[in-house]
A = this chain, B = another copy of it.
Amino acid sequence: MTQLPPPKALIDDAVARALAEDLGLAGDITSAACIPASAHSRAVIAARRGGVVCGVDFAVAAFAQLDPRIDVAIRAPDGAAVASGALVLEIEGPTRGILGGERVALNFLCHLSGIATATAALVAAAAGTGARIACTRKTTPGLRAFEKHAVACGGGSSHRFGLFDAVMVKDNHIAACGGDVAAAVRQARAAIGHLIKVEVEIDRLDQLDPAIAAGADVILLDNMSVADLAAAVKQTGGRAILEASGNVTVDSVAAIARTGVDVISSGWITHSAPILDLGLDFVHG
């Protein structure tokens, strides 16, 4: 999977927004009161538990925006699997800046690493099959690009990014086109550009052949049993990409993957993954 981080301008903007939220208009009043402007420190950010790292560029940006004299060395890059205790970043520079950026840096790192770690768990469970684990549009508002990158870091794959880059025909669209899966797919196909794919969601196996015949590139098999998924794979015979969704957990994913579907999509990895705990410690002496 590609693990290209999002465009730097997006990262810088998100970090600036988060720093503004934490610093307000008055800044870090505790450090201003207690820490001399000339104080200088070394610190590390380390994993408190094992997982997959994501978000180091955000941490780097947070410290750089606060004080460009802070040096940050990356010890575990995005996508690295780390054990509990492993170093992720080494930081050195003015103490006020390190303290001022600590929470913002950690909030990004912990959140994104949590998603990467959850994704990696599903990927590991599906290992040995040909199935990809993909995320959905069920992301935290404002953070979609970053969370999709975290999914990639965990070994997952992307889905359409938003409403704009692929067609997904669901029940309401089908109803609006007269209730006919094939008609809806054909109508969508005719309306869109030649570089856009069409996916259609079905919940019965008898919809599969009409959807493929109408030119669907991808079929979403929603909440089907493992037996039905396997039947769909057999019936399709490679004529379209098959995606399974619904009730995807670390426990269920292997069975789903063994049916032969191409893609398994999960909302949980972006909307409900717990953070990966990382912390910052000052290094003395």
Contact = CB atoms under 8 A, between A and B. Distances in A.
Given A32-B4, A143-B140, A24 B272 contact: no
Interface in A216-242: 217-218, 241
Nearest to A98: B172
Contacts of A145: 21, 25-26
Nearest to A20: B9
Number of copies of this kind of chain in the complex: 6
A148 B107 CA distance: 15
Interface stretch (A119-127, A186-194, A205-213): A186-194
Contacts of A134: 193-194
Interface in A1-48: 1-2, 4, 6-10, 14-36, 39, 41
A114 B177 CA distance: 34
Nearest to A96: B4
B9 A29 contact: no
Contact of A27 (B28, B99, B164): B164
Given A29-B167, A134-B193, A141 B104 contact: yes
Given A111-B271, A163-B24, A29 B17 contact: no
A39 B26 CA distance: 33
Contacts of A41: 172
B282 A172 contact: yes
A24 B24 contact: yes
Contact of A163 (B16, B23, B132, B271): B23
B164 A161 contact: yes
20 contacts: A4-B27, A7-B27, A9-B19, A18-B141, A22-B144, A22-B162, A22-B164, A29-B196, A30-B163, A30-B168, A30-B169, A30-B170, A33-B188, A103-B137, A103-B138, A110-B138, A111-B140, A142-B143, A165-B165, A195-B199
